């Protein structure tokens, strides 16, 4: 059983939840958990959420308008409240320190969560592998982990791609990820792509068309 | 009963009855896959059954379309918790594809374009329980959903219904596939909620 220990507001519709879980076995960056909620009459609902930190049981949850579980997690659950967590789950969409291979992360919206766990795992382990993050969001107020991503980290290159509205004076016009956002000379990377299905499909297709090895592109989708 | 989460009521969609435990109903058709979508032209597509002795039975796209097809209407259940009811497919029963195959094997490993694999007991592919389907909802199957053709084994979690299927290898010993090697259940019966190893 897990208890909510701390929350942070990420955006208007999303928040980060940190849980206390006795006997948590640890996990790899990129893995997820199943959250199971039970009502007082025994009705249950469960959903999967990516862990957004490598060293803590932290979830970043986006409220889905007609969702059943996410609005409870973003707006209702209070500090100390219990939930059932199952995990960690998933042994494929994971990054481990020490591979020596450069990494390209591509996030769409709340798809940043498992990629943030990878960025943090890199920093915590002192791994110097070059990381590039391309993070597609609608507007500047939709950026998760905004303060942390603004802080410079050696070897971590963060590029925000705004699709609807940009900060003042931003050079790139608002729009979806295109081939022009990829570095043509830099295809020797392990790629991790996470976001809504349409975004992931488009991004993975772009990477393949751009010369990335399909076997080195790992994807995780939701929605 | 599990631990009650204070203030959680849930949505209680009426139609939620009749679903396997832990599933919710969707009318969309979500996608789950581990990498880029392979794009396989129909005229390059082949389907191969390989027996435990190495004998191969192969169909080109044309030959596959000439086989007698069925139109199963089935409920599908994804391990990521969505279920979709009454989906309509068209394809060839594995009973037809395996009719002339001589084998003593008890297990099967399905292979896909792009490298995906998934394992099943051979019995779960027989007796009208499994198909290789090339049409969904009256249209050619989209690449995102596994086109040109995918396996359809609706009584197991949907990761067993391998997208972009290119063949089946028959084996005398069980050999875990892609997700089965990554912590997911070896068999994957949604009604027994066999999501992960140990369930």
ipTM: 0.84
Nearest one of A22, A17, A70 to A46, comparing CA atoms? A70
Of residues A53 and A67, more confidently modeled: A53
Q: What is the mean pLDDT of chain B?
A: 93
CB atoms within 10 A of CB B27: 7
Of residues A18 and B17, more confidently modeled: A18
CA distance B6 to chain A (A): 7
What would the pLDDT profile of B66-75 be if each residue is shown by its tens digit?
A: 999 999 999 9
Share of chain A above pLDDT 70, in %: 100
CA distance B117 to chain A (A): 13
Mean pLDDT across B116-132: 98
Look at residue B15 and tell me whether its pLDDT is greater than 90: no
CB contact under 8 A, A39 and B4: yes
Q: Domain B20-29+41-192: which topology?
A: Sulfite Oxidase; Chain A, domain 2 (3.90.420)
Give φ, ψ of A85 to 5 degrees: -120, 135
Q: pLDDT confidence of B26, banded at 50, 70, 90?
A: confident
**Would you state the pLDDT for residue B18?**
81
**Would you state the pLDDT for residue B12?**
65
Determine contact, residues A143/A137, Cβ cutoff 8 Å: yes
Sign of CA dihedral B183, B163, B192, B106: negative
**Would you state the pLDDT for residue B195?**
95
Interface test with A, best of B15, B25, B35, B78 (most A CBs within 10 A): B35
* C-alpha span between B177 and A12 (Å, rounded): 41
Mean pLDDT across B59-63: 98
What does the DSSP assignment read for B5-39? Answer: -TT------GGGTTSPTT-EE-SS-----SSPPP-
**Would you state the pLDDT for residue B13?**
56
CB contact under 8 A, B114 and A43: no
Determine contact, residues A93/A218, Cβ cutoff 8 Å: yes
**Would you state the pLDDT for residue B17?**
66
Tokens of A83: 């939930």
Of residues A184 and B36, more confidently modeled: B36
**Would you state the pLDDT for residue A152?**
95
Look at residue A103 and tell me whether its pLDDT is greater than 70: yes
* Lowest mean per-residue pLDDT among A49-58, A66-75, B114-123: A66-75
Of residues A200 and B2, more confidently modeled: A200
CB contact under 8 A, B22 and A214: no
CB contact under 8 A, A91 and B183: yes
CA distance A167 to chain B (A): 32
CA distance A36 to chain B (A): 9
Token pair 């963060």: residue: A158
Q: Where does chain A show beta strands of DSSP type E?
A: 2-11, 14-20, 32-38, 44-50, 57-62, 82-89, 103-108, 131-137, 156-162, 190-196, 217-222
**Would you state the pLDDT for residue B149?**
98
Pairing type for strands B165-171 and B107-112 reads antiparallel
Nearest one of A68, A4, A61, A80 to A38, comparing CA atoms? A68
Assign 3-state DSSP to chain A and report helix, strand, coil percentages, each to 5: 25, 35, 40
Pairing type for strands A131-137 and A156-162 reads parallel
* C-alpha span between A201 and A221 (Å, rounded): 9
Determine contact, residues B93/B126, Cβ cutoff 8 Å: no
Interface test with B, best of A2, A40, A42, A61 (most B CBs within 10 A): A40
Size of interface A-B (CB pairs under 8 A): 102
Nearest one of B149, B122, B127, B154 to B136, comparing CA atoms? B149
CB contact under 8 A, B9 and A39: yes
Residue A159's beta-bridge partner residues?
A: A134
Q: What is the mean pLDDT of chain A?
A: 95
Based on C-alpha coordinates, what's the Rg of chain A?
17
Q: Name every residue whose Cβ is closer than 8 Å to that of residue B129 and which is 6 or more positions away in sequence.
A: B94, B153, B155
* C-alpha span between B87 and A21 (Å, rounded): 40
**Would you state the pLDDT for residue B178?**
95
Look at residue B32 and tell me whether its pLDDT is greater than 80: no
**Mapping DSSP to helix (H, G, I), strand (E, B) and coil, where does residue A70 land?**
helix
From chain A, the residues in CB contact with B24 under 8 A are 45, 68
Q: pLDDT confidence of B47, banded at 50, 70, 90?
A: very high
Burial of B41 (0-12, 13-18, 19+ CB in 10 A): exposed
Count of helices and strands (H, E) across chain B: 2, 11
CB atoms within 10 A of CB A145: 19
> Which one-letter DSSP state was computed for residue A95?
B
Share of chain A above pLDDT 90, in %: 89
First-residue to last-residue Cα distance in chain A: 26
Cis status of the peptide bond prior to B148, with omega within 30 of 0: yes
Mean pLDDT across B100-110: 97
What would the pLDDT profile of A193-203 be if each residue is shown by its tens digit?
A: 999 989 999 99
**Would you state the pLDDT for residue B16?**
55
From chain A, the residues in CB contact with B182 under 8 A are 90-92
Question: For residue B157, what are the CA distances in angstroms to A175, B17, B62, B140, B176?
Answer: 37, 18, 30, 23, 15
CB contact under 8 A, B30 and A214: no
Residue A161's beta-bridge partner residues?
A: A136
Structural domains in chain A plus CATH codes: 2-89 (2.40.30.10), 103-222 (3.40.50.80)
Q: pLDDT confidence of A223, banded at 50, 70, 90?
A: low
**Would you state the pLDDT for residue B1?**
67
CB contact under 8 A, B10 and A43: yes
**Would you state the pLDDT for residue A63?**
93
What would the pLDDT profile of A115-156 be if each residue is shown by its tens digit?
A: 999 999 999 999 999 999 999 999 999 999 999 999 999 999
Dihedral angle over CA of B100, B105, B110, B115, nearest 10: -120
**Mapping DSSP to helix (H, G, I), strand (E, B) and coil, where does residue A209 land?**
helix
> How many residues does this entry show for chain A?
223
């Amino acid at each position: 059983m897990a208890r909510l220990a701390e929350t942070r507001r990420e955006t208007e519709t999303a928040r980060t939840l940190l849980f206390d879980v006795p006997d948590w076995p640890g996990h790899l960056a990129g893995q997820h958990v199943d959250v199971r909620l039970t009502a007082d009459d025994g009705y249950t609902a469960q959903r999967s959420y990516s862990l957004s930190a490598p060293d803590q049981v932290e979830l970043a949850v986006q409220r889905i308008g007609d969702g059943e579980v996410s609005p409870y997690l973003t707006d209702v659950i209070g500090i100390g409240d219990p939930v059932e967590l199952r995990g960690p789950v998933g042994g494929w969409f994971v990054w481990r320190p020490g591979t020596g291979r450069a990494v390209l992360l591509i996030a769409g919206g709340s798809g940043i969560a498992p990629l943030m766990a990878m960025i943090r795992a890199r920093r915590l382990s002192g791994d110097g592998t070059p990381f590039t993050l391309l993070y597609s969001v609608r507007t500047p107020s939709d950026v998760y982990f905004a303060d942390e991503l603004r802080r410079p980290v050696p070897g971590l290159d963060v590029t925000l791609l705004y699709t609807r509205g940009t900060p003042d004076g931003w050079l790139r016009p608002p729009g979806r990820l295109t081939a022009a956002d990829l570095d043509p000379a830099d295809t020797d990377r392990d790629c991790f792509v996470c976001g809504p299905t349409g975004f992931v499909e488009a991004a993975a297709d772009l990477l393949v068309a751009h010369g990335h090895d399909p076997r080195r592109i790992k994807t995780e989708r939701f929605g | 009963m599990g631990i009650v989460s204070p203030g959680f009521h849930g949505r209680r969609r009426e139609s939620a009855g009749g679903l396997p435990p832990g599933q919710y109903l969707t009318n969309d058709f979500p996608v789950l896959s581990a990498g880029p979508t392979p794009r396989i032209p129909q005229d390059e597509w082949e389907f191969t059954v390989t027996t435990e002795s190495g004998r191969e039975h192969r169909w080109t796209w044309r030959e596959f379309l000439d086989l007698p097809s069925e139109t199963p209407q089935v409920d599908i259940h994804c391990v990521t918790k969505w279920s979709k009811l009454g989906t309509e497919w068209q394809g060839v029963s594995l009973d037809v594809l395996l009719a002339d195959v001589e084998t003593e094997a008890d297990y099967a490993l399905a292979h896909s374009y792009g490298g995906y694999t998934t394992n099943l007991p051979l019995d779960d592919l027989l007796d009208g329980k499994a198909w290789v389907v090339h049409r969904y909802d009256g249209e050619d199957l989209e690449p995102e959903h596994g086109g040109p053709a995918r396996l359809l084994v609706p009584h197991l979690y949907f990761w067993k219904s391998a997208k972009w299927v290119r063949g089946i290898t028959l084996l005398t010993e069980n050999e875990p596939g892609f997700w089965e090697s990554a912590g997911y259940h070896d068999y994957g019966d949604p009604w027994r909620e066999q999501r992960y190893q140990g369930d």
